[in-house]
Amino acid sequence: MPEIPQKPAIEVSHLVKTYAGVIAVNDISFSVPRGEIIGFLGPNGAGKSTTMRILTGYLPATSGHVSICGFPVALDPDAVKRRVGYMPENNPLPEEMRVSEYLYFRGRLKEVPRRKLGSRIDEVLELCDLKRVRHRIIGKLSKGYRQRVGIAESVLAEPPVIIMDEPTIGLDPHQILIVRDLIASLRGRMTVLISSHILPEIEMTCDRVLIINQGRIVAQGTPAELRHEVLGQSAYEIEAAGPLGSLPFILGSIDPGLSVASEGPADEHGFRTIKLKTLNDEDAGEAILRACLSEGLRVRALSRAQPTLEDVFLAATRRSWDAVAEDPKAAGGP
């Protein structure tokens, strides 16, 4: 029996937001299916927080259409707010309440039934490892605990969509690991939209990544797709010694696109570090090794340099939106 397709968890189309002459969000469109974890990357001031605030119904948009689980945010904000758990930037918390009091207060605000609330609070405290500090005043907690209180509060009512603005900021590596596992455990059950500057985190946790710059989406896709699309090439690094003059020949015989990008100085044993590049995505490591050895080169090390998301991010945000807008025009022009 064919499954009835569910409405996507988040659907944004042609969203624009201007503040007093400044265009914060300039015609962005994207869609997030249910159960996905999506990362929002962008330099500061790119429009990430503004977009998140519009998604939760806190700020009104200037134009465009946003819907969460099929409910339009502008027409039915109440339904949207019941389905969203939100953790704003800087995680604002009332300084004078205790952790359990605060979670109880938030649970009642989100209309979690009283009977279920007690046990749900216990579950969430366990999930976020806050049992030890449940009776402590929030103002007296350290940063890591406060972030976890914020995350606990956003998952408290088990909303289908969770939006978190920089959840791991200021945390130490242990705490980042805990939060990362927590977010990964939500995959499938809830749709999560995270924004962050900590690129390795996004790479490890997210299914897809959206890169925003100056209010426009400059790249979107899975981390692998992005690496390929934005950087467009694979790189290898080989440490070899011997007759290097024949290297271009060797490389050409494996793959016409394979070429030497740079050559380092020889060390005391005569080995140089040579960087190769190719547009071909397939793994040519074995072929390179075999070819080099058969030609008599002495090879000490061979590795495939994986561009990190940071390289992708820097490349994507260096490109202005002009470059992105041109491609569809070139493709669909007369």
Partner 1 sequence: MLLVSPSTYIAGVAFLWLMGFMFTDILEQYSKAAQAESPASIFFSVYFLPVIFMVPLLTMKCLAEERRLGTIETLLTTPVTTTEVVLGKYGAAYLLYLTFWGSTSGLFYILKRFAGDARLLDPGPILGGYLFIAVSGLFFVAIGVFASSLSRNQAVAGILCSTILIAIIFGGKYLGSAAWLDREALAPIKAAVDYAQISQHFQDFTRGVVDTRELLFYVSGTVLALIFSILSVEAKLLHS
Which residue from 29, 45, 63, 94 is in contact with partner 1, where contact means CB under 8 A? 94
Does residue 221 bind partner 1 (CB under 8 A)?
no
Q: Which structure tokens are listed for 294?
A: 């058969």
Rounded Cα–Cα distance for residues 253 and 239 (Å): 19
Measured CA angle at 42 (ends 40, 47), to 5 deg: 85
Q: Which of 6, 29, 63, 90 binds partner 1 (CB under 8 A)?
A: 90
Tokens of 260: 């030497």
When binding is defined by CB under 8 A, the residue of 101, 123, 237, 255 that contacts partner 1 is 101
Which CB, 77 or 242, lies closer to partner 1? 77
The residue (of 170 and 242) whose beta carbon lies closer to partner 1 is 170
- Report the number of secondary-structure helices (H) and strands (E) in the chain: 12, 14
Sheet with 298-305, strands from edge to edge, namely 259-263, 272-278, 234-241, 298-305
Work out the number of other CB atoms within 10 angstroms of the CB of residue 290.
Answer: 12
How long, in residues, is the chain? 334
Count CA atoms within 13 Å of residue 184 on its CB side.
Answer: 11
User: Per-residue contact track with partner 1, 14 to 43, x per CB under 8 A?
Assistant: -----x------------------------
Q: How far is the CB of 182 from partner 1 (least distance, A)?
A: 19
If the CB atoms of residues 92 and 243 are measured against partner 1, the closer one turns out to be 92
x/- map, 102-141, partner 1, by CB under 8 A: ----x--xxx------------------------------
Please name the residue that has the structure tokens 């907690």: 141
Please give the residue ranges that form the binding site for partner 1 (CB under 8 A): 19, 53, 56-60, 78, 81-82, 84, 86, 88, 90, 92-97, 101, 106, 109-111, 153
